[in-house]
Structure formats: structure tokens, C-alpha cells
Amino acid sequence: GAGELYSYIEVFLEDDYEIAKISRQASGGVVVDVGANIGIFSLAASKTFQNTEVYAVEPHPYAYSRLVKNLKLNGADNVRPLNRAVYSISGPVRLSAGPSTTAASVCDGGNLSVEGVTLDDLCAERAIDHVRLLKIDVEGGEVEVLKGAGKTLENTDWVVVECHSAE
């Protein structure tokens, strides 16, 4: 859809995230793509940070299945897809998941239960002690993601956030 095309334009044509610049200024660590959707940013990170693990975290079941397919089709062997919602708590959370892959968000009245995880817990589980680049695009849940990322942010070189809320 148009939302997915816009993501492609943002990442590959307009370089809104400046990942080439970041790749030259930071070393070591991993890349974490929170709200990976169908994998546009993860694919760009995979190519730019070739010798780095990229974690692509996406809770929406349909978007996640397309993410996995896109990674395989593009030979992105350094990307680790995870079907979870990064949030301020670890445990079950509600996801508002409509037909569009670009508009899902965690909310109390969501129509789908998914496994939530704080960024700190995710990094502990995966033994990630240094994040080179953290990208967050979670359709209004940015503050909730950051609430669960205190320790991770202390060990992160670059953070890029697409903000969808006044907070």
C-alpha cells in the first residue's frame, strides 16, 4: 500500500534516518529496528551494516510474515526477526491490528493479544550490551517504548525515533 511505499521513499530515496552517516560514525554493537513493519529499514540496515546483527521487532502478525519473506527474498542473513511488541512492560499486551500493516499500535482496547517485551529485557535476553543504532517507529507508542529502555539507552550510540504522539 501507499504507506509501505512511503517507508521505502523515506529510507532509500530521502535517507531520512541518515544510516550511511551513522554507519561511519559508530562502530560495534547491533542495530535494533523497533516497529520493523515489513522490513524496509531492516533491509537498508542489513546492507549498510553488513557485519552487524540487525534485530527487526514487529508485533503485527501479517506485517511480521511479510517481514520474514522480504528478508529471505533479499538475502538479509544478518537480520534476526522477532514477532513481539516492544513496550514499557514485558508480558501480554493488546495490539490494535487493522488491515493496514502501517497503522497497528499497542493500546488497551486492541483486538489482538501479543507478547510484549521491554527493550531492556529484550537486550538482556539476546545478550546485547551495545546498540549502535536504535530505530523506533511504533505509531504513537514511542514514550512507552522509551520507558522500558533506560539501561539500553545508556549503551546506545544513536537513536532515531519517528514520533506519532504529542508526548
pLDDT digits (tens, 9 = 90+) for 27-47: 788 999 999 999 999 999 999
| Amino acid at position 125, single letter | E
Residues 55 and 80: beta-carbon distance below 8 Å: yes
Distance (Å, rounded) from C-alpha 61 to C-alpha 162?
21
pLDDT 10s digits, 72-100: 999 999 999 999 999 999 999 888 776 66
